[in-house]
Each structure stands twice: as C-alpha cells, then as structure tokens.
Amino acid sequence: MIATLLQLAGLFALLSMLAIGGGAGVLPDMQRAAVAHGWVTPHEFLQMFAISRAAPGPGSQIVVLIGQKAAGLAGAAVAFMAMFGPSSLIVFFTARFWHRAEHTAWRGLLERAMAPVAIGMTFASGLALLRNTEHSWTAYGVTLATMLAFAFTELHPFVMLGVGAAVLLAVGG
Amino acid sequence: MAFASVGMFSVGGALTAWIRREVVQRRDWLDDKQFLSGYALSQLIPGATNVNLAVFIGTLLRGLPGAVATLLGLTAFPVGLMLLVGALYLRASALPGGVLVGTALTGAGAVAVGLNLGMGIRLARLNIRRLVPAAIATVIALAIGVFGFRLLHVLLVMMPVSLLLAWWQGPEERP
C-alpha cells in the first residue's frame, strides 16, 4: 500500500513537471506507466479519460481516478497532490515576476519556443492513445468525426461525447 | 469565491473560457491583457493549464490565501464528483448492465481522443504560421505518437532545439 502510494506520487509529480502546455500531452506516458504498474488496462485508461473529459473541471483529473483504482481514497489524494501541488507552487512563486516581465525579450522567446512544442504534444497524445488502445473500426470513425467536428465547428464537446457513446451502443461495440 | 462556480459548470474542456468570463467580464478583477499574460505563463509552467491559471489569478489578487482559495475553489467540487463517479465506475463492471456502461464509455473515449486531435488542429491554425514551428510540432507529434519515444527524452531534445530556432528566427513581424 505504502509502496503504491509512493509510486503514484513519484509518477504524477514527474508527469506534472513534463506537462508543458497543459495536461493532455502527458497522457501517452501516463497510460504506459499506469498499465506497467498493473493499476489499469489500456482500455480502462481510455474509459477513465472519457469520464474525466465528460466531468466538469480540469481534464487532468484522470489522475484522481487512477489513484482511486490503484489505492483507494488515499491513492486519489496522493495522485491529486502530486499532479497539482508542485506546479501550483511554481506558479505562485513566478506569477508577479512574470507579470512584470511583460515586454522583455526573453519572455517573448519562451512563449514562441513553447507554442509548437505544446501543439506537437497535443497531437502526439491523440495519436498515441489511438495506437496503444485496441479500437474497433466504428471507434476509429467516431474519433475521426470528432476531430473534424471539434476543429471546424462550434459544437459542444459534451454533445459529441454523448453521440459517441450512443453510436457505439447502437452498433454494439 | 467565484472559482467554485467556474469549477462546476466547465464541462468538457471549456474551462479557460469560463474563467475568463467570470474574472474579466463579470467581476472585473483582471483586464484582458493580464488574463492573457497569465494564460501564457500557465501554459509555459508545467502542469494543468487551467489549474495554473487559477493559481496565477489568485496570487495576483490576494497573495497566498488567494492562490489557495482559487486552487481549492476550482478543484474541490469536480474532484469530489470524480471520486463518486470513480467509485461507481469501479463497481459497474460487476453489475448486469456493466457491459453496456463499458461500451458507452468506450464510445465516449473514442470521442475524447478525437477532441485531443481536434484541439491540436485548432491550436495549430491559431498559432503556427511559419515553417519552422510547424516542423517542430510535426517532429514531436510523430516521435511520441507514432514511434513511441518517451516524452521526457523527446522534450530534452526538442525544447532546446525549439528555443534555439525561436531565437534564431526572431519575433514574427506583425502587419
């Protein structure tokens, strides 16, 4: 139990520090590690990801579900602290300093360098989740349709999640 | 504080828009420039962007107590809900209807993956106008997404490369 909690803390603290440009980019590594520890199957991970996207609040809340599955309430608490604690501390200590650096050259440089990295990570996470989770052809179709709908229309994500669930229920997996 | 209401209603990744509405439009705590500056920092600093943004706003407004209040306000309700849903989910597979729940969630999971890819397209259309950043994003997407390299290794190589190229190219000229 204690060992599991320590593993949870170590994993999510590390992933949190790699999450440049948001939590979505670390999902492939999170899936790989959580599966390797035997906490979830790749398929369960995808379902938990769906739950965390459908529920209100930050998408990175998936860590709470994984922690809960691995080690109950204590696991959920540890996962939450590890994922959000260290990054919040960094923001707290840099907020005012950053604010004063509004027009400095180094700040512009950092922002320009970070944008393509974050965008690449976002694509990568979608591709890796597709690759690491067994998908039926229907599911591939749903993923493709969602990608286009989200990129080019203003349809609400919540509606899409519902439609996707209904389609798979109708086809039977 | 207002962040409790933001946490509750922001379904499906529209969190940033909600925060902006509450903090800039309805309460006038920050102006749009401060908000955007905070958003940039929140992306740059590792961790969940929305949570970082909430802490940034809390810090600017009230220091440490503000930061703690916005962090807890944003996450308390959703995390509580998540624990409840998680407990149900972990038991659902054993129940008679469990298979159906699993199928529905698989469908929603396929959508969630599509949302990630769609978000990538959106961000790329908004932020990438030059060849070099486009190439960097493509290399990272392929290295992790197709060839299965570890994120840590890719970042250790690509972050310095991206910084160097951004420095070499200089700022984009704005018309």
pLDDT tens for A82-107 read 999 999 999 998 888 877 776 777 77
Residues 29-88 of B with CB under 8 A from A: 34, 37-38, 40-52, 55-56, 59-60, 64, 67, 71, 74-75, 77-79, 81-83, 85-87
* Average pLDDT of the residues in A41-46: 89
Given pLDDT bands bounded at 50, 70 and 90, which one contains residue A23?
A: confident
pLDDT of residue A68: 92
- Residue B105 in contact with residue B35, Cβ under 8 Å? no
| Highest-scoring range by mean pLDDT, A27-41, B14-28, B46-60 | A27-41
Are A14 and A26 spatial neighbours (Cβ–Cβ below 8 Å)? no
pLDDT at A147 over 50: yes
Q: What average pLDDT does this structure show over B43-59?
A: 83
Under the banding of pLDDT at 50, 70 and 90, the label for residue A133 is confident
pLDDT at res. B15? 64
Residues 25-84 of A with CB under 8 A from B: 25-29, 43, 46-61, 64-65, 68-69, 73, 76, 80, 83-84
Q: At what angle do helices A27-36 and B151-169 cross, to 10 degrees?
A: 160
Please indicate if any CB of chain B lies within 8 Å of the CB of A157: yes
Query: pLDDT above 70 covers what percent of chain A?
Result: 98
The pLDDT of residue B38 is 78
pLDDT at residue A81 tops 70: yes
Mean pLDDT of B30-42: 76
Question: Would the CB atoms of B51 and A88 count as touching at under 8 Å?
Answer: yes
Please compute the mean of the pLDDT values over residues A55-61 and round it to a whole number. 77
pLDDT band at residue B2 using 50, 70 and 90 as cut-offs: low
Which of the two residues, A146 and B92, has the higher pLDDT score?
Answer: A146
What is the model's pLDDT at position A75? 94
Residue of chain A nearest B137, judged by CA positions = A120
CA A157 to chain centre: 16
Mean pLDDT of B77-99: 80
pLDDT at B12: 38
Q: What is the pLDDT of residue B9?
A: 47
Place of tokens 């992790």: B144
Chain A neighbors of B45, CB-CB under 8 A: 87, 90-91, 94
For chain B, give every domain's residue range. Answer: 1-92
pLDDT over 90, % of chain A: 27
Question: How far is residue B173 from each of residues A80, A138, B3, B170, measured CA to CA in Å?
Answer: 42, 45, 37, 9
Q: Which residue of B has its CA nearest to A53?
A: B12
Q: How far is A5 from chain B (nearest CA, A)?
A: 17
Q: What confidence score (pLDDT) does residue B5 get?
A: 52
- C-alpha–C-alpha distance, residues B37 and A72, integer Å: 38
Residue A69 in this model has a pLDDT that exceeds 50: yes
Answer with the residue of higher pLDDT: A1 or B154.
Answer: B154
- Range scoring the smallest mean pLDDT among B43-52, B88-97, B112-121: B88-97
Per-residue pLDDT, B112: 85
User: Does residue A143 register a pLDDT over 50?
Assistant: yes
Out of B12-16, B17-21, B28-32, B87-91, the most confident range is: B87-91
Check residue B173 and give its pLDDT. Answer: 58
For the residues A53-70, what does the mean pLDDT come to?
A: 85
What are the distances in angstroms from CA A155 to CA A150, A151, B18, B44? Answer: 7, 10, 16, 28
Average pLDDT of chain B to the nearest whole number: 79
pLDDT-based confidence at B46, cuts 50/70/90? confident
Mutate to test the interface with A, among B30, B70, B111 (most CBs of A within 10 A): B111
Closest CA of chain B from A12, distance in Å: 10
Q: Does A114 touch chain B (CB under 8 A)?
A: yes
Which of B19, B33, B117, B154 to mutate to test binding with chain A, by most A CBs within 10 Å of its CB? B117
Q: Taking residues A115-127, report their average pLDDT.
A: 85
Backbone phi and psi for residue B10, each to the nearest 5 degrees, phi listed first: -90, 85
Flag if B86 and A64 touch (Cβ within 8 Å).
Answer: yes
A:B CB pairs within 8 Å? 384
Burial of B84 (0-12, 13-18, 19+ CB in 10 A): exposed
Mean pLDDT, chain A, rounded, equals 86
CA A50 distance to own-chain centroid: 10
Residue B132 phi/psi, 5-degree rounding, is -65, -50
The mean per-residue pLDDT over the stretch B34-61 comes to 81
Q: Where do the structural domains in chain A lie, given as residue ranges?
A: 2-134, 136-173
B120 and A95 in contact by Cβ < 8 A? Answer: no
Q: Which of A53, A139, A157 sits opposite B106 (nearest CB)?
A: A139
